[in-house]
Structure 1
Amino acid sequence: MNEPQTLRQKMACLFEGTGQYQRSGHILDIALISIIMINVVAIVIESIPSVAEQYYNEFLVLEIVSVTIFAVEYLARLWACIDKTKYMAIEGSNSKRRLKYFLSPLALIDLIAILPSLMMFLFPLDLRFLRVLRLLRVFKLTRYSRAMQLLLQAFMDEGSSLLAAFFIMAVVLILASCGIYLIEHDIQPDTFGSIPAAMWWAMATLTTVGYGDVVPITAMGKFFGGVITLLSMGMVAIPTGLLASSFSEQIRKRRQFFEDAVHEQIQDGTLNQAQHEHLEDLRYKLGLSKLEANKAIKTQLNQHNSHIYCRHCGKRP
């Protein structure tokens, strides 16, 4: 991206944390993270009736100030998004680019962070319900946590596989509920009197939670429950394995992307100041540690120099 000229371009660089705005963007992220954490703690403490009544005005002021900050941030991001590198590449009008950003997961999370409070001021709703919704504000941390972004990307990449795994689990849940209902409903009509009632036991068993409040008592029921428990161990491991594999793949891709960028920047076996700054910006965006970045740079420099100098005599060929 060229040197920012307009206010909108400067805002885009600030939100991206690139170039001369890297430090300012980092400070802004820390400030917003602090506000989010203060909000989460305040919402939790506010659930205590005596505290909520005694400090009602303080909680209200904190909520108004926080919502104002989050709303200004949301509108500023929506306004400046068209000058971000990702959205500048989209062909079409600025409205199309803003719509693309508006529908992005992070933008929707920002919107969810301010909607509950706006609803509180516009509609007479249950405050306990709104308090729970306001806790969704913690998901804004996804924007500032590289690990959370990796996890979100893993969910998106493995969406179809996860849906297939959950579909299989739903089928097994229904079969387990029907089976335990047929075996136990005559003996325990209060707990297994219907298939929907039996689903509670099936859910607790399939997720290997095993609350113990509903258990089969017949020999056949216990055998059937044991089979379902063994099956559940493999069933629960499927989505866990998918996410773990995708998470590792996301980290590998980011490291490989950074190594490729280093390879492109190396020309004469060294890196100048501008190239170092570019790679530092890229490292921050990818969420890599300085140790990983330095290791990649050192590896690429060694590989580049090994082709320039003879490994036997150390001279240029």
Structure 2
Amino acid sequence: MAVNKTKLKKQIFDIIQIGDKSNLASRAFDIFIVGVILSNISVMFLQTYDQLEPYYGLLSVIEWVTTGIFCVEYILRIWTADFLYPTCTRGKAIGKFLISYDGVVDLLTIIPVFFLSGFVAFRMLRVIRIFHLFRINSKYDSFNVIKMVLLRKSRQIISSMFIIFILMMASSLCMYSTEHAAQPGVFSNAFSGIWWAVSTVLTVGYGDIYPITLLGKCMAIVIAFMGVLLVAIPTGIISAGFVEQYQNNANEESKVVDVDEIGELLVDDVSKFCGRTILQATEEYGVNIYMVLRDNMSILPTGDLEIQTGDILIVKSKFLEKRRGSSLS
């Protein structure tokens, strides 16, 4: 009986896992969930139209049915969490799932329906349902490219955004100094110019707030040109990241790896790889990881996959010849 229950749980786990292209039932489940999410989000939009008030009852039924499906999915993911984290105890596996991205998105998707919808905070939480689509798309190649680019270029992007933020704050202070005397109602304090700074630096320019003094206009011209240059920096970083990622993907698809150049590395408790993601291991140690063998599963090495104790890594590396046949420690 216990064996049958474990087998059933494993089958359910395989089906509800996102992005398993080798499992027809899993792909069908992904398509079904996408349809449920789109239906739920459509109801959110339709409920904002006063003209559709006679149909609010039907829309509420659809919302409750789709949310019920989300609840069932959430319960099944908790029930099968020990397969998601096979090296952890059942209690620890459930805890790790609950605080994971998937677990948090699932929970925040369900919460608004069971609480008072009159509160603004709970109405805003309904928007979290849209992130269900991100969770599904992130497991497929098209969206995974975007995720990999953002992860690889995250430091450069954050640095450029910090520079833009500093420019906006400095622009606000400068414009307050030059325009406060002429427009005390518009530039009443240093922070009041932040709206003008944002719209100018980001090249939107709504025109509801603008300088009228000669010095202020001259400063606005300089700030506008600086904004064009600085906003182009993160755009260039992301564009270069896409080019690099697609080149890497093309090279991986066309590259033929000699069997003599690859091998296995066992990850133990003191391994340099233990606890790191595939992306971190690749960047820090220059190792190409082609497959992760975990228990009885073969896992494709996505960038955010965390390497665990007991994993066997199928790798190609410059230092593999010196360490062939030994575990990485």
Residues 48, 154 of structure 1: CA spacing in aligned structure 2 closer, same or farther, 3 A cutoff?
same
Structure 1 stretches of 5 or more lacking a match?
265-281, 287-317
Paired with 2:255 and 2:78, the residues of 1 have a C-alpha distance of: 31
Structure 1 range deviating more: 66-75 or 148-157: 148-157
Q: Deviation digits for residues 130-180 of structure 1, max 9, x if unmatched?
A: 444313211111122233344344444444433322222221111100111
- Map residues 45-194 of structure 1 onto 2, 5 A cutoff: 45-51=46-52, 53-84=53-84, 87-88=85-86, 91-120=87-116, 125-126=118-119, 130-145=122-137, 146=140, 147-194=142-189
Query: TM-score, normalised to structure 1's length?
Result: 0.70
Q: Which one of the candidate residues 200, 206, 209 is aligned to 2:201?
A: 206
Q: Which has the higher strand share?
A: 2
Residues 196, 119 of structure 1: CA spacing in aligned structure 2 closer, same or farther, 3 A cutoff?
same
Aligned residues: CA RMSD? 3.7
Q: Which has the higher helix share?
A: 1
- Map residues 227-238 of structure 1 onto 2, 5 A cutoff: 227-238=222-233
Q: Deviation digits for residues 219-254 of structure 1, max 9, x if unmatched?
A: 211111111111112222233333334444455555
Paired with 1:103 and 1:262, the residues of 2 have a C-alpha distance of: 39
Percent of aligned positions that are identical: 27
> Would the aligned equivalents of 2:82 and 2:88 in 1 still touch at CA under 8 Å?
no
Match of 1:244 in 2: 239
Query: TM-score, normalised to structure 2's length?
Result: 0.68
Residues 79, 35 of structure 1: CA spacing in aligned structure 2 closer, same or farther, 3 A cutoff?
same
Deviation, structure 1 residue 205: 0.7
Residues 239, 38 of structure 1: CA spacing in aligned structure 2 closer, same or farther, 3 A cutoff?
same
State the number of aligned residues.
263
Paired with 2:213 and 2:149, the residues of 1 have a C-alpha distance of: 43
Match of 2:30 in 1: 29
Structure 2 stretches of 5 or more lacking a match?
260-297, 303-329
Residue type of the partner of 1:14?
A: I
Higher relative contact order (CA 8 A, sep 6+): 1
